[in-house]
Amino acid sequence: MKETKELIVVRSLTESDLGIFAAHRASARSKQRAININAAVARRLFSKAFIDKGGGPVECLCRLGNIEVSGKRHIGKIHKNWRLGGSKIPGDAFSRLDSRDFMLLRSVEQNDGTKQLKITFVGRKTNRVVHAGLVAIVQPVLDNSMVVYVEGQEEFADLAPHCNA
């Protein structure tokens, strides 16, 4: 039987991704209310069955510093890519996030929607040192604002302490 490994998906947030946060809704130029997940990344992250049914609700734990927001969020396909949506993420602290800050999403690979997604946001204004370290690790390899690291890779080990475990 194949051993399931963990993944850490890193997304460099874009301005349109910020619409998921309540604190950014009033000033957001984009009407998008979700975080984009590239199709290639979604195929690694989610099982074929989950992909084939077009996604669905997944339990998520979102964290910024010591603030945690948990609940079900919808993962669904919009055009060619996928979106992590659901109700807006409340909290004024999230107003300190900006484009080019990071989302670290930790999950088992080929998640069928029954395993929790652990999401950590890291911003220049909220954690400058960790943010600078992330830039050094991911900037050279970001592809369409995303990169995936698999358990066992050196970069996974470097990122794991900064993600919800």
Q: Is residue 125 within a helix (H) or strand (E), and if so which, with residue range?
A: none
Is the pTM higher than 0.95? The answer reads: no
Which of 94, 45, 35 lies closest to 69 in space, CA to CA? Answer: 94
Q: For tokens 């130029």, name the residue.
A: 29
State the burial class of residue 9 (Cβ atoms within 10 Å of its Cβ: 0-12, 13-18, 19+): buried
Q: How confident is the model at residue 30 (pLDDT cuts 50, 70, 90)?
A: low
Q: Is the pLDDT of residue 65 over 80?
A: yes
Q: For tokens 């050196």, name the residue.
A: 154
Structure-model confidence comparison of residues 108 and 26, the more confident one? 108
What pLDDT, on a 0 to 100 scale, did the predictor assign at position 26?
73
Q: Is the pLDDT of residue 2 over 60?
A: no
Asked if the structure places residue 26 within a domain, the reply is yes
Total number of domains in the chain: 1
SS3 68: strand
Asked if the structure places residue 32 within a domain, the reply is yes
Asked if the structure places residue 52 within a domain, the reply is yes
Asked if the structure places residue 1 within a domain, the reply is no
Q: For tokens 């991704």, name the residue.
A: 17
What pLDDT, on a 0 to 100 scale, did the predictor assign at position 139?
93
Asked if the structure places residue 34 within a domain, the reply is yes
State the burial class of residue 80 (Cβ atoms within 10 Å of its Cβ: 0-12, 13-18, 19+): exposed
Asked if the structure places residue 61 within a domain, the reply is yes
Which of 67, 84, 64, 87 lies closest to 75 in space, CA to CA? Answer: 84
The pLDDT tens digits of the residues spanning 114-159 come to 999 999 999 999 999 999 999 999 999 999 999 999 999 999 999 9
Range of the domain at 147: 6-162
The pLDDT tens digits of the residues spanning 91-125 come to 999 999 999 999 999 999 999 999 999 999 999 99
Mean pLDDT of the chain: 93
Identity of residue 17: D
Through-space distance between the first and last CA atoms of the chain, rounded to whole angstroms: 24
Q: CB–CB of 20/33 below 8 Å?
A: yes
CATH number at residue 122: 2.40.330.30
- 3-state helix, strand, coil split of the chain in percent (to 5) is 30, 35, 35
Asked if the structure places residue 100 within a domain, the reply is yes
